[in-house]
Amino acid sequence: MPAAIRIENLQFRWKPTLPIILNIEFLEFETGETIFIKGPSGSGKTTLLNLIGGVLEPFKGKLEVLGQNFIGMSHRERDKIRGDNMGFIFQQFNLMPYLTVLENIMLPIEFSAQRRKRLNDMNISSIDEAKRLLGHLMMKVEEVISKPVTELSVGQQQRVAVARALIAQPSLIIADEPTSALDADARESFIKTLFQECKSVGSTLVFVSHDSQLGKYFDRQIDLTQINTAYRPVSL
Ligand SMILES: Nc1ncnc2c1ncn2[C@@H]1O[C@H](COP(=O)(O)OP(=O)(O)OP(=O)(O)O)[C@@H](O)[C@H]1O
Ligand SMILES: [Mg+2]
């Protein structure tokens, strides 16, 4: 089985005039592994996730994701790989405010023929899959499914964002602070659901959080301040 993600001497800077803020010599995630990444604010967690997700382009180095070399690849090609194979849970959910819960969850399916095919092959309708995920995430499905997402609480919106990321079994789930809007009980059941979904599909999970308490649930924990040699803590 090839590694899900392989990074060698990866460097990133926001602009040619700005310093390098991310420099990682080596990092490899196995397929199906659950990985917890921690680090203080500004240490580059979101930047690393956006590089892995193909949203940002590295300045130098090697970056292979799901067996594909991202270096030198066009934006469009990376977008396609992400659309077909990745579920993203953003730090600010990025739900579409004018759409309902169901419409939000279905968005990734509309943009990817491969996802539609996967559901088809499993003989599951996309609506049933959306409902199954919402139920699994402890939502009152019939009550919320047709509501605009703006009428949900923040914790509910976070779960809709998760259902959207999990729909049609992407092989890589990337989660940026997905538990920040949940209370302690909801957090634990949320993580369990996320793990069950990932394990049953064999998806790799890369999960970022400040909350180092959550680290113990994962196969592996990574402290970004240890592996990002470009990181300089703010001196007071
Ligand atoms: N769009 C941008 N343009 C320029 N610099 C940026 C941009 N976004 C982030 N940065 C800088 O890049 C560095 C890493 O930021 P990043 O968002 O990856 O940190 P983080 O670890 O996710 O922090 P947090 O825990 O606050 O989310 C920071 O120094 C930040 O100021
Ligand atoms: Mg961040």
Residue 44 beta carbon below 6 angstroms from any ligand 1 atom: yes
**What average pLDDT score do residues 9-18 get?**
96
pLDDT tens-place string over residues 177-235: 988 877 887 788 788 888 998 999 999 999 999 888 889 999 999 999 999 999 988 77
What is the predicted pLDDT for the residue at 198? 92
Residues in the chain: 236
Please determine, for residue 137, whether its predicted confidence score (pLDDT) is greater than 90: no
Nearest residue (CA) to ligand 1, atom 7: 14
Nearest residue (CA) to ligand 1, atom 6: 14
5-227: what fold? Answer: Rossmann fold (3.40.50)
- CA of 45 from ligand 1 middle (Å) equals 8
Q: Is the torsion defined by CA of 140, 143, 148, 154 positive or negative?
A: negative
CB 210 within 8 A of CB 36: no
Residue 45 beta carbon below 6 angstroms from any ligand 1 atom: yes
pLDDT tens-place string over residues 67-125: 999 999 999 999 999 999 999 998 888 899 989 999 999 999 999 999 999 999 999 99
Q: Which residues surround ligand 2, an ion (CB under 5 A)?
A: 45-46
Put the strands of the sheet holding 22-29 in their side by side order. Answer: 22-29, 5-12, 60-65, 68-69
Nearest residue (CA) to ligand 1, atom 5: 14
What is the predicted pLDDT for the residue at 225? 94
Q: Using CA atoms, how far apart are residues 186 and 183, in angstroms rounded to an integer?
A: 5
What is the predicted pLDDT for the residue at 236? 64
Q: Which-ligand-closest: CA of 44?
A: 1
**What average pLDDT score do residues 39-55 get?**
95
Residue 42 beta carbon below 6 angstroms from any ligand 1 atom: yes
pTM to 2 decimals?
0.93
Q: Tokens for 193? A: 């659901």
Residue 39 beta carbon below 6 angstroms from any ligand 1 atom: yes
Residue 54 beta carbon below 6 angstroms from any ligand 1 atom: no
